[in-house]
Chain A
Amino acid sequence: MTIDWKQYPLQEGFFDELISSPGNARQPARQLANYLSSLSEDDIASRKLAAESTIRDMGVSFTVYTEEGNIDRAWPFDIIPRIISSNQWDKAAAGLKQRLQALNLFIDDLYHDQKIIKDGIIPEFILKQSKNYRKECEGISPRFGVWAHICGTDLVRDHNGSFFVLEDNLRVPSGVSYMLENRSIMKRVLPEVFEKVNIAPVGDYPEHLFNMLASLSPRQGERPVIAVLTPGIYNSAYFEHAFLAQRMGAELVEGSDLMVDKNDCVYMKTIAGLERVDVIYRRIDDMFLDPEVFDPDSVLGVPGLMRAWSKGNVALANAPGAGVADDKVVYAYVPEIIRYYLGEEPLIANVETFLCFDDKQREYVLANLDKLVVKPANESGGYGMLVGPHSTKKERETFAELIKANPRNYIAQPTLALSTAPTLISRNKVEPRHLDLRPFILQGKDTYVTTGGLTRVAMKKGSLVVNSSQGGGSKDTWIVDTTAGKS
């Protein structure tokens, strides 16, 4: 038995990325669908096996924290890619650039004049109670006025296939290495399809990341010394930290490899002595960056780092304090933020969001907990949220109490009709599974968006939770140009 797209169980009310109606693939996916159904059951099984052994050999893993200790798990991967046409993608990409530019203007404003608050667009208390606002950053002007240099924005598609922004990750977004590795795996698994289809390459991300980081160097005109600052081998994203350092030719450092000297410059400890560092791509949270300023018990950070940064002797990406715009309450204001700073209409819409600090909206949320998704304002990784339709009565009661106790800290959104894509669930059986997309946007001197991004897929039937820490997997993402024929 081969794959029969006529038998593919499309789900009513959801947009499927590859299949438009039983037996019919969308145009950019047509060649792939035909190719897959030409493969025998054994062929498909052997491709799947090839993907698994590639993942093992490439050592693509992520760490899961359990009570029994940390487990390095192989990256769960589905061999059927998710496909988006290039003209659809170009529009989304323009929207992502617009969004990050506005967010950076917003952050810079917050740490200087706070015009947006004075003009009454955003209530002051939101800022006052923001967990990620850093008083220590006030008055500091990073190069180009950019604070969030690397942003991972989660996109979802509704039942019509329109893109919506689900959240912006402006602190230390991860996943880009998996995007790159997924492509290398696919090239080994379905090489024939790459010959026939115009798939936009993704491999130039490290180059763009390097150029962006280099553009931040305080010693322009000299070859910058760039370091990736990792919390170390036990961090769940360590694989990615090492991967990016390697691809950029940057130094992979831990806090203990760095020191700040009396001249407020940052140095790394090398076999020849101390060497100055110009740019630090930090993958540790604000609170651990500098024990002199933030958490005094942090052993991950570097004493004096904030001093060096505020004097402009070292660039930090992302800048400390950038996470203030990561707050899910701020998220609700992003369309206004875009209008305020750029005078433009947002090119990608937000998902409808209810703010629990507002009495009316909170009433609505509390009355509809079984239909809504409730999220804390400052968590990531899918932790601490309530998915209404899948919740128990007890869970809803707990959340009602949490919301009443701290309304500023919660938002709610309608349960999304997350789009689906065919996913291999047994030797020859494909079923729709829900997915999202995390593109990565860079801003330094210029702005750049990855071609596509990391597609995360909820491997469990009906599940809407795509986080790898919670049983999600991933797929390669193809941006396909259907206008130009491949010769």
Chain B
Amino acid sequence: MRLQWGIDAMRIIDCPLIGPRPVAEFNYGGAVGEPPIVDPTPDQLAAQVFYRAGAPGLLREWWYHRPTGRWFVLERDTATDRVHRIVTPEEVAHAIPML
């Protein structure tokens, strides 16, 4: 998928179905989380709830496009602020564990 970059204030994200749109139309949804753990220990639960991959590098993140009400997952380099690719929903989908 093609991505266009202008000066910072005019950054464009080119998503499937909606085409190139300014980043200001998106809300940040944070990093894509891991599937919930069945019967977690307190340590596992704390890690899942609080701990994050905070170092610079590639990060998969949720982005919400307000005008069309669509969610996207982007793979972005958090050091350079470049979007590497749009991740398809199938890639991040996981089964809901039976609790």
**Interaction A to B:** no
Tell me the B residues contacting A by CB distance below 8 Å.
none
